[in-house]
Amino acid sequence: MLMKAILGLMLTKNEIQKALNAYAVDSWHKQEDLYTREQLSHLRHAAVLLPLFVHENEWHLLLTKRAETLEEHRGQVAFPGGRKEKQDHNLHDTALRETYEEIGVKPEDVHIFGHLGDLPILTGYLVRPYVGQIPWPYAFELERDEVHSIFSIPITWLIEPENHYVRYRNFAGRELPVIYFENYAGYQLWGASAEMVVALLSALNLAF
């Protein structure tokens, strides 16, 4: 794991972009094997942004904690994002618009590296996780009706095997494996957002 931690520190922007492009293509092939086109067509399209930034020569991942008043995923750790709206030309626009609305990061301040393909989630969405770099430090403006707080986790912490585990939970009568990360600064990353983080680490060849 020491070598992977070192690689995580040394990843360049160009290497991240190439890795994501390759991973997205592979992800599409996997979805075709797991789901029919008809099944995927019934899911609502959404997009999120996995914001990366460099602090003290180390990559960090920014996350949010959703407000307790929301109907869906209340109080959970998540990434800025949401469903595709009519004014969005594509899912790229969705991710940037939602990020601006939720945490105040302007679209022109985000350098998109690529995305991780499409991820079906149990709440009926087909989510496309985009990965981009944001400036640091940044004057964030939180939409308090949606976002309780923001925090960040170093990539080197996320890749440590002892910081994650799998727990089985019952969904619609089925026992399904769910990824959990240990608490970090009082926050716990789990579920679909944790799955996106694992996909990012896999794309960058940093998976535990």
The domain limits of the chain are 2-203
The band of 10, judged by pLDDT with boundaries at 50, 70 and 90, is confident
The CA distance from 158 to 151, in Å, is: 14
**Is residue 72 within 8 Å of 44, Cβ to Cβ?**
no
- Give percent of the chain above pLDDT 70: 87
pLDDT at 30: 56
pLDDT, mean over the chain? 89
The CA distance from 40 to 149, in Å, is: 32
Superfamily of domain 2-203: Nucleoside Triphosphate Pyrophosphohydrolase (3.90.79.10)
Q: What is the pLDDT of residues 27-86, one digit of tens each?
A: 665 555 555 666 667 789 999 999 999 999 899 999 999 999 887 778 999 999 999 999
For 59, the token pair is 């990559």
Q: Is the pTM of this model over 0.75?
A: yes
pLDDT at 4: 53
The band of 207, judged by pLDDT with boundaries at 50, 70 and 90, is confident
